[in-house]
């Protein structure tokens, strides 16, 4: 684990917070242009585009963000004179990334409120011109690390307002706590420059699924903002307290569940198409765990309910559940391989009645002697052995994984570098589904063919998570190796959304270029490597929450 000598200087919270006015009409021509004080910069990756940053802010662009020139051609030459061509290249990558990030900014009534998913006119916009909640997380972290918290504050407040809207899918009303998957600025009257926000809670999304991850990310981001700015006032505001409670009420509501994990529909998270992740996917369970831990630190006591108590009990139960049933390493795999079935009793070892014949062949070769991970999903007679990147890395950042398990997850990444990192970090999941399995599980989805997109594709955005966990565990050489691999291609390929192929060598078939989270993910990765204290906003210390040993023996089969 990394230890810091002392707390880093806080980033100043915006002095007079320029919140977006809640009135319905707004004349953007009247907006006073603001110059914002910039925080002290430490490293090259933050430094380069300070000029670009302010310029774009001052240009006050609104949502239609036509790039005026390519971020590559437009990138400024490195300020330092150096003979080290590698260093020059790296700085150029960072320059290009900062410039692209600035161009992705979306303004609402004169204030920055988010970043578009991608600026790629060649592919047709679909909904990539919207601000996605999950996509904004790396952007928000980059802005926070850069000392620009206002956009994050505006985003949090504006999405909290959107949450209060009535949400309907056909005749069915969605839960009040649901946060939008994405939103965009609608220009109602071009003459009077009237703007409003249009949000998508799943009712217009492909597949019509509400995003379970949005609310969880929202809470995690609120904590990041609070830690960064050392300003509790936003988190303590009635708007944010209410938003948090609404999200948590949805997640903690009682139902028919026999497990503390959150039951989800396919496509309710980053993997937002049918990919066989319905049930209890690790990505959501890890985010849920982290959001619960963040909420405990942010919620104000309310003597009328036992919310905080409920949350603590859920953290404990969720931790027990995931440790006992999701953790997999060589030894555990061997135990599952020898499972008896049809056990009936509280002491059954094979609680979910997993039939050993259903264990896929690939896992026996993939599982190294050193290493382990949390499996993708678990429900009756179904263990999804696939390795999912986001869930495992969030498990490390939230300290859901014990110290030993966290090391084991990174051991696995090192042992299986070719498979998981390849030429472009990193695989969203492993392995890909092919042939009949692909047909049945994805519904013949042509976008999710083997080793493409969500089905074993490589996503540059995941770099920041890899770097964060490597830095957290004091193994930065892993991060450096991955960042170097990324730098060889990212700018040249114009920041693609994802790469295809077993080794991630090919720019994805339908990948958008200038995908904002590929841009921001790289910048966050650089800033985490440059200054490990930046980790404080996205990492939770191990508080020793209850963990229990994995069951070894069944009484019904002594
Ligand atoms: C794709 C991704 C999703 C992302 C969206 C916008 O649909 O699967 O995770 O949020 O694009 O970039």
Query: What is the CB-side half-sphere exposure of residue 299 using CA atoms within 13 A?
Result: 25
- Alpha-carbon distance of 262 to 177, in angstroms, equals 15
Q: Going by CA atoms, what residue is nearest to atom 2 of ligand 1?
A: 270
- How do beta strands 377-379 and 382-384 pair? antiparallel
Q: Under DSSP, is residue 416 helix (H, G, I), strand (E, B) or coil?
A: coil
Query: What is the 270 CA–ligand 1 centroid distance (Å)?
Result: 6
Does any domain span residue 528?
yes
Residues 397, 472 contacting (CB under 8 angstroms)? yes
From the CB of 135, is ligand 1 less than 6 Å away?
A: yes
Residue 471 has a pLDDT of: 98
Domain range for 96 is 49-61+68-537
The segments of the chain whose pLDDT lies below 50 read 1-19, 21-43, 46, 48-52, 54-82, 551-558
Q: Under DSSP, is residue 147 helix (H, G, I), strand (E, B) or coil?
A: coil
**What's the maximum distance between 2 C-alpha atoms anywhere in the chain?**
79
- Alpha-carbon distance of 259 to 326, in angstroms, equals 13
The label of the residue with tokens 């437009």 reads: 74
Does any domain span residue 43?
no
For 470-473, which contacts have Cβ atoms below 8 Å and span 24 or more sequence positions?
A: 470/410, 471/2, 471/528, 471/529, 471/532, 471/535, 472/1, 472/2, 472/396, 472/397, 472/406, 472/535, 472/539, 473/1, 473/396, 473/406, 473/407, 473/410
pLDDT tens by residue, 242-260:
999 999 999 999 999 999 9
- Alpha-carbon distance of 534 to 145, in angstroms, equals 7
* Integer angstrom CA distances of residue 329 from 18, 366, 426, 542: 50, 11, 21, 21
Residue 83 has a pLDDT of: 52
Does any domain span residue 371?
yes
Does any domain span residue 191?
yes
Domain at 129, CATH number:
1.50.10.10
CA-nearest of 146, 145, 143, 73 to 114 is 143
Residue 548 has a pLDDT of: 55
Does any domain span residue 167?
yes
Query: What is the 125 CA–ligand 1 centroid distance (Å)?
Result: 12
Residue 191 has a pLDDT of: 72
Domain count for the chain: 1
Does any domain span residue 551?
no
Residue 467 has a pLDDT of: 98
Tokens of 94: 């960072």
Query: What is the 461 CA–ligand 1 centroid distance (Å)?
Result: 11
- Alpha-carbon distance of 21 to 113, in angstroms, equals 12
From the CB of 520, is ligand 1 less than 6 Å away?
A: no
Enclosing H/E stretch for 295: helix 282-298
Residues 98, 44 contacting (CB under 8 angstroms)? no
Residue 55 has a pLDDT of: 42
Residues 213, 221 contacting (CB under 8 angstroms)? no
Tokens of 558: 């002594």
Mutation probe of ligand 1 site: the residue of 116, 135, 277 with most atoms within 8 A of C-beta = 135
Q: Under DSSP, is residue 100 helix (H, G, I), strand (E, B) or coil?
A: helix
pLDDT tens by residue, 378-431:
999 999 999 999 999 999 999 999 999 999 999 999 999 999 999 999 999 999
Total number of residues shown for the chain: 558
Counting beta carbons within 10 angstroms of the beta carbon of residue 137, is it exposed (0 to 12), middle (13 to 18) or buried (19 or more)?
buried
Query: What is the 217 CA–ligand 1 centroid distance (Å)?
Result: 14
Residue 546 has a pLDDT of: 58
Counting beta carbons within 10 angstroms of the beta carbon of residue 400, is it exposed (0 to 12), middle (13 to 18) or buried (19 or more)?
buried
- Beta-carbon contacts of 352 under 8 Å, excluding residues fewer than 6 positions away, are 325, 378, 379, 380, 381, 382, 383
pTM score, two decimals?
0.86
Mutation probe of ligand 1 site: the residue of 267, 270, 445, 465 with most atoms within 8 A of C-beta = 270
Phi, psi dihedrals of residue 108, rounded to the nearest 5°: -135, 120
Does any domain span residue 14?
no
Enclosing H/E stretch for 131: strand 131-132
DSSP label at residue 430: E
Residue 21 has a pLDDT of: 43
Q: Going by CA atoms, what residue is nearest to atom 7 of ligand 1?
A: 272
Query: What is the 182 CA–ligand 1 centroid distance (Å)?
Result: 10
Query: What is the 267 CA–ligand 1 centroid distance (Å)?
Result: 10
From the CB of 270, is ligand 1 less than 6 Å away?
A: yes
From the CB of 132, is ligand 1 less than 6 Å away?
A: yes
Tokens of 222: 């609120």
Ordered DSSP codes for 166-211: --EETTEEPPTTPPPSEEEEEEEETTTTEEEEEEESSSSSTT----
Please, which residues bridge with residue 169 across strands?
172
* H helix intervals, 358-490: 362-366, 389-397, 403-415, 417-420, 435-442, 463-472, 476-489
- Alpha-carbon distance of 479 to 558, in angstroms, equals 46
- Beta-carbon contacts of 370 under 8 Å, excluding residues fewer than 6 positions away, are 408, 411, 412, 415
CA-nearest of 340, 384, 396, 354 to 556 is 340
Query: What is the 255 CA–ligand 1 centroid distance (Å)?
Result: 30
From the CB of 134, is ligand 1 less than 6 Å away?
A: yes
Q: Under DSSP, is residue 231 helix (H, G, I), strand (E, B) or coil?
A: coil
Does any domain span residue 121?
yes
Nearest atom in ligand 1 to 270's CA: 9
- Alpha-carbon distance of 463 to 97, in angstroms, equals 14
């Amino acid at each position: 684990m990394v230890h810091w000598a002392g707390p880093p200087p806080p980033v100043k919270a915006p002095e007079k917070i320029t919140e977006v006015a809640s009135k319905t009409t707004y004349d953007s021509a009247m907006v006073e242009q603001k110059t914002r004080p910039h925080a002290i910069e430490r490293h090259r990756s933050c430094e380069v585009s300070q000029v670009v940053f302010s310029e774009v802010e001052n240009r006050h662009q609104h949502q239609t963000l036509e790039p005026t020139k390519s971020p590559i051609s437009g990138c400024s030459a490195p300020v330092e004179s150096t003979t080290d061509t590698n260093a020059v290249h790296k700085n150029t990558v960072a320059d290009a990334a900062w410039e692209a990030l600035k161009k992705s900014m979306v303004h609402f009534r004169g204030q920055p409120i988010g970043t578009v998913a991608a600026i790629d006119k060649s592919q047709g916009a679909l909904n990539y011109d919207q601000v996605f909640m999950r996509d904004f997380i790396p952007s928000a972290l980059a802005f926070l690390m850069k000392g620009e918290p206002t956009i994050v504050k505006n985003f949090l407040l504006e999405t909290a307002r959107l949450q209060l809207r009535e949400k309907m899918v056909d005749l069915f009303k969605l839960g009040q706590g649901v946060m939008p998957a994405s939103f965009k600025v609608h220009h109602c009257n071009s003459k009077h420059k009237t703007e409003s926000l249009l949000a998508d809670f799943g009712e217009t999304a492909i597949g019509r699924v509400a995003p379970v991850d949005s609310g969880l990310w929202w809470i995690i981001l609120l904590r990041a903002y609070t830690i960064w700015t050392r300003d509790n006032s936003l988190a303590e505001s009635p708007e944010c307290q209410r938003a948090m409670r609404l999200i948590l009420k949805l997640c903690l509501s009682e139902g028919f569940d026999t497990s503390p994990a959150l039951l989800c529909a396919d496509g309710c998270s980053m993997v937002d198409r049918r990919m066989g992740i319905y049930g209890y996917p690790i990505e959501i369970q890890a985010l849920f765990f982290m959001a619960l831990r963040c909420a405990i630190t942010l919620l104000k006591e309310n003597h009328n309910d036992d919310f905080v108590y409920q949350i603590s009990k859920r953290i404990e139960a969720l931790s027990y559940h995931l440790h006992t049933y999701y953790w997999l390493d060589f030894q555990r795999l061997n135990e599952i391989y020898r499972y008896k079935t049809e056990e009936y009793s509280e002491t059954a070892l094979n609680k979910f009645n997993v039939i050993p014949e259903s264990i896929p062949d690939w896992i026996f070769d993939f599982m190294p002697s050193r290493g382990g991970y949390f499996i993708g999903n678990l429900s009756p007679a179904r263990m999804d052995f696939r390795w999912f990147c986001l869930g495992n890395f969030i498990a490390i950042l939230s300290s859901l994984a014990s110290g030993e398990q966290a090391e084991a997850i990174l051991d696995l990444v090192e042992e299986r570098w070719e498979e998981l990192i390849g030429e472009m970090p990193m695989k969203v999941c492993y392995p890909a589904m092919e042939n009949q399995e692909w047909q049945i599980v994805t519904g013949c989805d042509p976008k999710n063919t083997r080793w493409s997109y969500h089905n074993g594709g490589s996503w540059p955005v995941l770099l920041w998570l890899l770097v964060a966990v490597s830095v957290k565990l004091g193994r930065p050489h892993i991060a450096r190796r991955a960042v170097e691999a990324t730098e060889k291609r990212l700018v040249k390929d114009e920041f693609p959304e994802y790469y295809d192929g077993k080794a991630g060598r090919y720019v994805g078939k339908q990948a958008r270029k200038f995908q904002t989270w590929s841009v921001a993910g790289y910048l966050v990765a650089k800033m985490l490597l440059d200054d490990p204290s930046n980790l404080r906003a996205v990492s939770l210390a191990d508080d020793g929450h209850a963990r229990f040993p994995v069951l070894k023996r069944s009484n019904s089969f002594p």
